[in-house]
Amino acid sequence: MSEFIINAEHQPPREVNRAIRKAAREYNKITIKNPNAMHYIAAGLVDPVELVIDGSAGYFVGTMIHGAKIHIRENAGWFPADNMTEGEVVIDGSAGDGVGQGIYGGTVVVKRDVGSRTGEIMKNGTIIVGGNSGFMSGLFMMGGRIIILGNISDDAGESIIRGAIYVRGSIKSLGKNAKVEELDDEDKKELKELLPKYDFKLKDDDYNSFRKIVPRSNRPFYGKESEEG
């Protein structure tokens, strides 16, 4: 069916989410007007619906979704797409800490900068950041990939166990169990196929600037590095 519009102004998150779930059973597309950085928008949404948030969202937008495609036209607060299992969350602006925390699958895209701990304890899926990412990005990362087109701050890949963090800009410092490798041809091919899908227009030379952060060991050592082994 056609688009359904929900006016979130002066409504609590519980009522907005109830309206989203009801509409998702009948409509393919839902637009939220006047979101006013509301927290928990679309929490637990499990229908394969297209949801447009016409403004900014607060904390935990799209938390625990499965199959929905969410487009946020401005910014998002902390923990967007937290524990998502399947779907897509695209944020046109910036986002706070914990983008894609604990995701099991799907794709999270932030067109501008993000805060700290991007992809913390993520198990699989893809996170793309068009700008910079803060400290401890990839903390306890267990799988999947994070792609940072800008710079990454302190302790990148802290205690990473599996997965990879692709960084085009500078790496301020590495966390424990993290090391830097050059990209191979397959890595570059995947990035060239993926990034244009989200309107990131890079030149061929830009792809040569990427490096990837990967685990030093799949059994990380948590004491002092001088004591390891």
Is 2 part of any domain? no
Domain hosting residue 183, numbered range: 94-227
**Is there a domain that residue 63 lies in?**
no
Mean pLDDT of 16-22: 98
In a domain, 176, yes or no: yes
Domains in the chain, number? 1
* Confidence label for 199 from pLDDT (cuts 50, 70 and 90): very high
Which CATH number goes with the domain that contains 174? 2.160.20.60
pLDDT score of 115 more than 60: yes
Task: Please give the pLDDT value at position 149.
Answer: 98
User: What is the model's pTM?
Assistant: 0.95
Q: Is residue 121 part of a domain?
A: yes
What is each CA distance from 164 to 86, 151, 212, in whole angstroms?
19, 15, 6
Distance from chain centroid for Cα 168? 17
Does residue 193 lie within any of the structural domains?
yes
Q: Is residue 50 part of a domain?
A: no
The answer to the question of residue 1 being in a domain is no
Arithmetic mean of pLDDT over the chain: 95
Q: Is residue 32 included in any domain, yes or no? A: no
When pLDDT is cut at 50, 70 and 90, the band that residue 224 belongs to is low
